[in-house]
């Protein structure tokens, strides 16, 4: 019988695991193992695998039988390496208990430090270190963290005791408390625990250890972890690992410190060591923003205009060692590293490394520069930038020339600009965000409980905290602009206001923030369009060279079309003509057409619309010169163009001279129980061919006109929506060709055009061979195809979709990420059957999914010719298409290797 290995040790120059074992050991555990094997100074410890977490939840929160003995053995090894014993009165080993999932979830789960302390071992620690103050400082930290994480006692009660003590002593800094003060604080903390939980603070180190391990596993299912997973698409089934690691102490006086570092600037990507540290402190202090940390490097300090010495200046020798070590780590991992470290009495210890989170700007710069440095190749550089993140760069920024009244300055924690209403509370931010309001979340500092508020906000301001504070890290990850540590912002939560520069700002008032400069600004500031040059252009050029899929845009207005072209769109994949009908200048004629009693009346009204339509197309064809333009003929049911209630009817009647009674009765007559499945799409063209005839004529005439004017023939692709049957397609194809030929004859000129259909019904996909007899292209309208495949209305799905996601029935919202199984199968079937009849049938996708990277990967796999998405997503799609092509290629190479 083979035993499952549940526990992997590391430290003392070797490790059971390595960096490739992230799935089993979690990111933190795998990298601690790797760093140990590299011979870097890592406090020894062990990792309890993610499989234990999974088993724990599968077995009603019970551990595998042999886990305890494996933990005992691993703990024994650690004791051997450090020469201390867990629970020993005179020579106690203390450990940290840290969570660590596969994908890093910073600050999402809880860590307990200094575990193993009790009333006896604290004396041992005092003796060993010769520093009583340090021993009791560590003990009080432990009681706070353990009580909070394991026993569920809030921080407040402890903070009250501490504040009271400091007030009594007349001091403001924790570091000013002496040994006896801390000893007294510890006594009172234990009383707090007894009062709050009804039980003594646990004194048995083994019980403490298992309490903390269970708390880490439990934290995998807490609300903020769930929210984070949902936001980042991390499956629940992955589980977290637990790392138990011998403690090193950054709080042993002025030769001790703790800090965080990035090997390159995570905001700008600049290739300079970047970070913050605190002397005489323990890990959490830096991230929690309790004290404002100092810069790591001299240059960093000068840039921030700080006076307190940098680590480079305060501890030059350890700093030199640190700089070497992190350089080595970056070369080893071939990526920018995010590092946590501690200096204990002049000795460096590495506590964590991982590929650092970064802004889009910095991701681009780092990828391009790593490629030029030869650390990675171009293909890898393409894979290094998350397509979604480009979104951050594609939106307007503050106009540098516009006047701004800066009311406070903080750190440029996450770039980008945002304007919105002041909100002080995360729940309120979420509520207003859901109503579509732009809000700026203003907080003293943020904690993981604020995630939903940060997500809902356009931007974040904190009064406290550094560049690596929770707010800064999370905002960068989310792509929200953030100004942190704006000390000039004085928040009065109770009054619902803050003061800055002597002015009072109330909740609901508008402010603007510039996350690239750290400015907090009164009111609104003019924005300018982004310039996409430099690293962006370089990487996009590499991506374009690597991709197979073409990228088009969904656009109907000239503005959208030019934006799309500027972003590199290779044509229009969907131009919806109904938007053109809603225009104020045309809606009257459209209504007249709907009210007409016979074909002749309809034709008369359509004749009024035709010149407008033609002019629209002329403009689009010019903007998209040389590129294909897919135009979808009228799609929505006609009643959408009519006023619905009496009041509107009266207003329309008055304004247009149309008959109010007739309007009302026509609206009633056209009323449909289920408009999505009603008289719409090509069913309009079949029932009222004159509508589609007008549109085809407008398209062809516009194309001929542009050809005559510019000498270059546009490439119109005329698309019939909602086709289900071959017979429908036959009718529509004949209609289209007949009208086109008539125009050609009339004008004495001709050009190439294509006729195709949007595939948005399961029947159309299944009978694609019938359609391909007449259709030269298929465009998968995956919004509607998803609706009709699932039988779910997108507009109503909000009411129950969350329940499906919560229960794991849906992993993703199928309207955001293409369902690769059901809808995907239909696409594959349609592609295959269509190609059987017409081998060169052109295939594309034009739903919302066309801009979603994972859906784009599906399209690559299905062998489609192009994806089409909203203009602002075009660069995202270009990059995602390149990544999909590269993954597909390396996938095939792997196949061949087998
Ligand atoms: P997170 O995943 O939230 O960063 P960590 O498990 O990394 O949580 O722990 C938080 C902080 O605690 C770390 O930044 C580190 O400074 C400190 N820490 C963790 N383990 C130890 C240890 N064994 N010795 C000293 N400090 C530690
Ligand atoms: Mg950490
Ligand atoms: Mg549709």
Q: What is the DSSP string of 31-91?
A: HHHHHHHTT-----EEEE-HHHHHHHHHTTS---TTHHHHHHHHHHHHHHHHT-EET-SSS
Q: Is the CB of 340 under 6 A from ligand 1?
A: yes
pLDDT digit string, tens, across residues 409-451: 998 888 889 999 999 999 999 999 888 899 999 999 988 778 8
CA distance 844 to 863: 9
- Say yes or no: 222 and 273 in one domain: no
Evaluate whether residue 111 is within a structural domain: yes
Q: What is the per-residue pLDDT for 898?
A: 46
Q: 830, 757, 851: which is closest to 551 by C-alpha?
A: 851
Please give the angle made by the CA atoms of 90, 94 and 96, to the nearest 5 degrees: 175
- Cα–Cα distances in angstroms (integers) from residue 47 to residues 14, 739, 742, in the given order: 14, 73, 76
Strand partners, 14: 11
Of 192, 215, 246, the residue at which a domain comes to its end is 246
**pLDDT > 70 fraction of the chain, expressed in percent and rounded:** 98
User: Is 232 part of any domain?
Assistant: yes
Question: DSSP class of residue 676?
Answer: G
Q: Which of 29, 45, 98 to mutate to test the pocket of ligand 1 (most atoms within 8 A of CB)?
A: 98
- Judge if 213 and 262 occupy the same domain: no
Q: What pLDDT score was predicted for residue 653? A: 83
Give the helix ranges, DSSP H, for 767-862: 768-772, 782-790, 801-806, 822-837, 853-862
Q: Rg of the Cα trace of the chain?
A: 32
Domain boundary among 199, 227, 246: 246
Task: Give the pLDDT confidence score for residue 285 in this predicted structure.
Answer: 75
Same domain for 145 and 64, yes or no, is yes
**Does ligand 1 come within 6 angstroms of the Cβ of 512?**
no
Q: Tell me if residue 165 falls in helix, strand or coil.
A: helix
Positions marked catalytic: 470, 846
pLDDT confidence of residue 666:
87
Residue 790's pLDDT is 97
CB 630 within 8 A of CB 719: yes
What band does 289 get if pLDDT is binned at 50, 70 and 90? low
Q: Are 397 and 530 in contact (CB under 8 A)?
A: yes
Same domain, 478 and 506: yes
Sign of torsion, CA 128 133 137 140?
positive
Q: Is 285 in contact with 258 (CB distance < 8 Å)?
A: yes
The pLDDT, as a whole number, for residue 434 is 82
Could you read off the pLDDT of 12-70 as tens digits, one per residue?
A: 999 999 999 999 999 999 999 999 999 999 999 999 999 999 999 999 999 999 999 99
Q: Are 823 and 814 in contact (CB under 8 A)?
A: yes
Could you tell me if the CB of 575 is within 6 A of ligand 1? no
Quote the pLDDT of residue 533: 82
Does 594 fall in a domain?
A: no
- DSSP assignment letter at 571: S
Cβ contact 266:359 at 8 Å: yes
Q: What is the pLDDT of residues 571-629, one digit of tens each?
A: 999 999 987 887 767 888 899 999 898 999 999 999 999 999 999 999 999 999 999 99
Q: Are residues 427 and 317 in the same domain?
A: no
Give the pLDDT of residue 173. 85
The SS3 assignment for 361 reads: helix
Q: Is the domain of 414 the same as that of 296?
A: no
Kindly report the protein residue whose alpha carbon is nearest to atom 6 of ligand 1.
98
- pLDDT single digits (tens) 468-524: 788 887 887 677 899 999 999 999 989 999 999 999 999 999 999 999 889 999 999
Q: Which of 30-44, 295-309, 312-326 has the lowest mean pLDDT?
A: 295-309
* Ligand minimally distant from the alpha carbon of residue 260: 1
Instruction: Give 599-618 as a DSSP string.
Output: HHHHHHHHHHHHHHHHHHHH
| 334 and 432 in a common domain | no
- How many of the other CB atoms lie within 10 Å of CB of 237? 10
* Centroid of ligand 1 to alpha carbon of 795 (angstroms): 45
- Cα(827)–Cα(819) distance, integer angstroms: 10
The number of the ligand 1 atom at minimal distance from the alpha carbon of 98 is 6
Pair 229, 152 in one domain: yes
Mean pLDDT of 762-775: 98
CATH classification at residue 132: 3.30.1490.20
Tell me what pLDDT residue 1 has: 53
Ligand 1 neighbourhood includes 437 CB (under 6 angstroms): no
Rounded to whole angstroms, how far apart are CA atoms 743 and 593?
A: 23
The answer as to whether 382 is a domain residue is no
Element (H, E) at 503: strand 503-506
Of 141, 337, 351, the residue with max ligand 1 atoms within 8 A of its CB, to mutate for a pocket test, comes to 351
Measured CA to CA, the distance from residue 178 to residue 182 in angstroms comes to 6
Same domain for 75 and 131: yes
Q: 230 and 310 share a domain?
A: no
Structure tokens at 59: 């077995």
**263 plus 308 within the same structural domain:** yes
Percent of the chain with pLDDT over 90: 74
Does ligand 1 have an atom closer than 6 angstroms to the CB of 43? yes
161-189: pLDDT as tens digits: 999 999 999 998 888 899 999 999 999 99
Query: Left (φ > 0), alpha (ψ -120 to 50) or beta: where does 149 sit?
Result: alpha
Domain that holds residue 409: 395-528
Alpha carbon 359 to chain centroid, angstroms: 11
Final residue in a domain of this structure, among 246, 265, 299: 246
Which pLDDT score, from 0 to 100, does residue 557 have?
A: 86
Q: Whose Cα sits closest to atom 17 in ligand 1?
A: 283
- Residue 89 resides in a domain: yes
* Number of domains forming the structure of the chain: 3
Q: Distance between CA 331 and CA 40 in Å, rounded?
A: 14
pLDDT above 90: residue 225: no
Q: Any idea what the CATH number is for the domain that residue 332 is in?
A: 3.30.470.20
Is residue 746 domain-resident?
no
Tell me whether residue 591 is in a domain. Answer: no
From 352, 353, 448, 477, mutation site for ligand 1 pocket: most ligand atoms within 8 A of C-beta? 352
Residue 172: inside a domain? yes
**Same structural domain, 209 and 294:** no
């Amino acid at each position: 019988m083979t035993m499952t290995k549940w526990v992997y040790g590391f430290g003392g120059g070797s490790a059971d695991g390595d960096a490739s074992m992230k799935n089993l050991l979690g990111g933190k555990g795998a990298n601690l193992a790797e760093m140990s094997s590299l011979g870097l100074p890592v406090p020894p410890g062990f990792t309890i695998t993610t499989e234990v977490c999974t088993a724990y939840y599968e077995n009603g929160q019970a551990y595998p039988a042999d886990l305890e003995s494996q933990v005992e053995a691993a703990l024994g090894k650690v004791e051997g390496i450090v020469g201390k014993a867990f629970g020993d009165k005179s020579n106690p080993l203390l450990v940290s208990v840290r969570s660590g999932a596969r994908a890093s979830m910073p600050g999402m789960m809880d860590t307990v430090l200094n575990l193993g302390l009790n009333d006896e071992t604290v004396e041992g620690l005092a003796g060993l270190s010769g520093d009583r103050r340090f021993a009791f400082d560590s003990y009080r930290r432990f009681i706070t963290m353990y009580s909070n994480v394991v026993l569920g006692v809030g921080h407040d009660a402890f903070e009250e005791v501490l504040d009271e003590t400091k007030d009594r002593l007349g001091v403001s800094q924790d570091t000013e408390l002496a040994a006896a003060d801390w000893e007294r604080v510890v006594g009172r903390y234990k009383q707090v625990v007894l009062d709050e939980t009804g039980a003594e603070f646990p004194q048995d180190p083994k019980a403490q250890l298992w309490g903390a391990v269970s708390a880490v596993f439990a934290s995998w299912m807490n609300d903020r972890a769930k929210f984070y997973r949902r936001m980042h698409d991390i499956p629940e089934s992955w589980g977290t690992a637990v790392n138990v690691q011998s403690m090193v102490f950054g709080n042993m006086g002025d030769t001790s410190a703790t800090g965080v570092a990035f090997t390159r600037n995570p905001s700008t990507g600049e290739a300079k060591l970047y970070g913050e540290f605190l002397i005489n402190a323990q890990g959490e202090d830096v991230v929690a923003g309790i004290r404002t940390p100092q810069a790591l490097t001299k240059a960093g300090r000068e840039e921030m205009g700080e006076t307190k010495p940098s680590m480079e200046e305060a501890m030059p020798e350890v700093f030199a060692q640190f700089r070497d070590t992190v350089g080595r780590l970056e070369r080893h991992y071939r990526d920018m590293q995010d590092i946590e470290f501690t200096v204990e009495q002049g000795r460096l210890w590495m506590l964590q490394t991982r590929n650092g989170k970064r802004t889009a700007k910095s991701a681009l710069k780092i990828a391009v520069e790593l490629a030029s440095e030869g650390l990675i190749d171009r293909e890898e550089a393409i894979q290094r930038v998350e397509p979604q993140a480009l979104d951050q760069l594609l939106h307007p920024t503050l106009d540098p020339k516009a006047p701004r009244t800066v009311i406070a300055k903080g750190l440029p924690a996450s770039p980008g600009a945002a304007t919105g209403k002041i909100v002080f509370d995360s729940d309120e931010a979420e509520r207003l965000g859901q109503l579509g309001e732009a809000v700026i979340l203003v907080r003293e500092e943020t904690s993981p409980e604020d995630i939903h508020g940060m997500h809902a906000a356009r931007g974040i301001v904190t009064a406290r905290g550094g560049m690596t504070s929770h707010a800064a890290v999370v905002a960068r990850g989310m792509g929200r602009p953030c100004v942190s540590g704006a000390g000039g912002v004085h928040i009065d939560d109770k009054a619902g206001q803050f003061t800055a520069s002597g002015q009072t700002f109330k909740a609901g008032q508008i402010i603007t923030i510039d996350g690239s400069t750290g400015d907090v600004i009164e009111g609104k500031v003019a924005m300018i369009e982004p310039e996409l040059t430099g690293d962006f252009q370089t990487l996009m050029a590499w991506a374009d060279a690597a991709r197979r899929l073409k990228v088009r845009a969904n656009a109907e207005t000239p503005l959208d079309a030019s934006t799309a072209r500027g972003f590199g769109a290779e044509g229009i994949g969907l131009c919806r003509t109904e938007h053109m009908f809603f225009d104020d200048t045309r809606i009257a004629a459209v209504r007249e057409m709907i009210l007409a009693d016979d074909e002749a009346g309809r034709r008369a009204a359509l004749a009024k619309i035709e010149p407008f339509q033609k002019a629209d197309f002329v403009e689009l064809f010019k903007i998209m010169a040389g590129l294909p333009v897919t135009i979808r003929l009228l799609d929505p049911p006609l009643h959408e163009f009519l006023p619905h209630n009496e009041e509107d009817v009266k207003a329309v009647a008055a304004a247009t001279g149309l008959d109010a009674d007739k309007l009302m009765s026509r609206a009633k007559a056209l009323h449909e129980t289920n408009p999505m499945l009603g008289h719409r799409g090509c069913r309009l063209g079949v029932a009222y061919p004159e509508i589609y005839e007008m549109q085809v004529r407008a398209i062809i005439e516009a194309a001929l006109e542009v050809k005559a004017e510019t000498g270059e023939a546009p490439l119109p692709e005329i698309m019939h929506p909602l086709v289900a049957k071959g017979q429908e397609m036959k009718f529509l194809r004949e209609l289209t060709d007949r009208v086109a030929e008539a125009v050609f004859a009339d004008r004495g000129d001709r050009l190439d055009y294509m006729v195709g259909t949007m595939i948005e019904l399961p029947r159309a996909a299944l009978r694609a061979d019938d359609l391909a007899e007449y259709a030269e292209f298929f465009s998968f309208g995956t919004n509607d195809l998803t609706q009709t495949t699932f039988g779910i209305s997108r507009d109503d799905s909000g009411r129950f979709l969350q329940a499906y996601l919560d229960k794991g029935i849906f992993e993703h919202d199928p309207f955001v990420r293409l369902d690769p199984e059901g809808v995907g199968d239909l696409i594959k079937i349609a592609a295959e059957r269509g190609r059987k009849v017409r081998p060169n049938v052109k295939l594309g996708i034009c739903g919302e999914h066309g801009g979603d990277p994972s859906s784009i990967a599906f399209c690559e796999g299905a062998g489609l010719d192009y994806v089409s998405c909203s203009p602002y997503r075009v660069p995202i799609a270009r990059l995602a298409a390149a990544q999909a092509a590269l993954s597909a290629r390396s996938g095939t190479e792997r196949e061949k290797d087998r």
